[in-house]
Amino acid sequence: MTRVLITGGCGFIGRHVAEEMIAHGYDVRLYDAMIDQVHGGVEVRLPEGAEVIRGDMQDPQRVRAALDGCDGVIHLAAEVGVGQSMYEIARYVGANDLGTAVLLEAMLNHPVKRIVVASSMSVYGEGYYALPDGTLLENVRRKPADVRAGNWNATAPDGQLLSPVATDEDKRVDLASIYALTKYAQEREVMIFGEAYDVEAVALRLFNVFGAGQALSNPYTGVLANFASRLASGERPTIFEDGEQRRDFVHVRDVARAFRLAYEKPEAAGELFNIGSGSAYTVTQVATLLAEAMGLPQLSPEITGKYRAGDIRNCFADISKARELLGFEPQEKLENSLEEFVTWVRGEVVVDRGAEMRRQLEERRLVS
């Protein structure tokens, strides 16, 4: 039986990937530091049959032990949070970039056939935009002075208003946060290593992942979990800017299937893929849908009209490449999955730390 090491395997995405791999006949070993911010001291329900090794990605000895006897790696371990990355810089660079380097060095003595690394849509910065005549632009950046003045939408140099369009893998990266920088470094480390050592390497650029099992007490986790924590605590979801920024929300079970396909498909070797739903939602739309699903429509989102450093305006996925080479097709749309998500939230102990997150950012002048 093929044994796969899943780093970060006790986390939200990792547990679902483990379930997917076990269901398709793989032997799974999970490696995870079990940090309090993510797991909060709560007992984690792990897939039956998964072996667990607890350890830090920056511990070479533990990483080598975790790799022993494994045929492949799915590398999910990372600190996650755009806002937090802007002030806990060493923590993010250490865990994400150095942690990946330690893993790759360990693989020199424990060769594997394939490694699949979790990258992020954040590496794109702003997604593609189009001029009124249809001309595509890939290097759009909003000026800090403009967004601080409340001019949220991206414009062309001559002032023309731009229309956001789906972003494919050919778009050049534009790193707008420390988190994005570390995710791109993880991606490139793995791909360079794979080419140099004849290891099949694949990178998946994940868009906004949601579903049951997200850390509801971690304010730097996914948007939907943050909104759910606020609502479950009787508070209005907090939204920066004007709430009209667009994102792509993809269900965690679709993401887990994408990792399995990326691990299995011969055509995936050496490639990177967008993994999203292929649909765009405004952040206000998501908060409103969730409040209605939780029976709390009166808790309309608080639109702060403030800019958070590192945020981008629009980015949503073109998933044509994943469809073609992986056979990936999203099966669970956001609007059809909220009932299951809400049922799970109601069974959890929720600690809302949204106000604490906002205070931390404001104290460091990262919100203006």
Catalytic residues: 179
List, in sequence order, every beta strand (DSSP E) within 94-242: 114-120, 129-130, 136-137, 163-164, 200-206, 208-210, 238-239
Pairing of strands 246-247, 314-315: parallel
Please tell me what DSSP assigns to residue 155: B
Give me 260's structure tokens: 């399995």
Cβ burial, residue 76 (10 Å; 0-12/13-18/19+)? buried
Give me 84's structure tokens: 């937090």
Sign of the torsion formed by the C-alpha atoms of 279, 173, 239 and 132: negative
Name the 3-class secondary structure at 120.
strand
Distances (CA, A) of 62 to 33, 35, 106, 230: 11, 16, 10, 37
Q: 79, 97, 98, 96: which is closest to 36 by C-alpha?
A: 79
As a whole number of angstroms, the distance between CA 213 and CA 219 comes to 14
Alpha helices in 57-160 (DSSP H): 60-67, 82-85, 89-92, 99-109, 144-148
- List, in sequence order, every residue forming a beta bridge with 282; answer none if it has no partner: 246
Angle at 155 between CA 152 and CA 158, to 5 degrees: 145
Q: 348, 361, 312, 357: which is closest to 228 by C-alpha?
A: 348
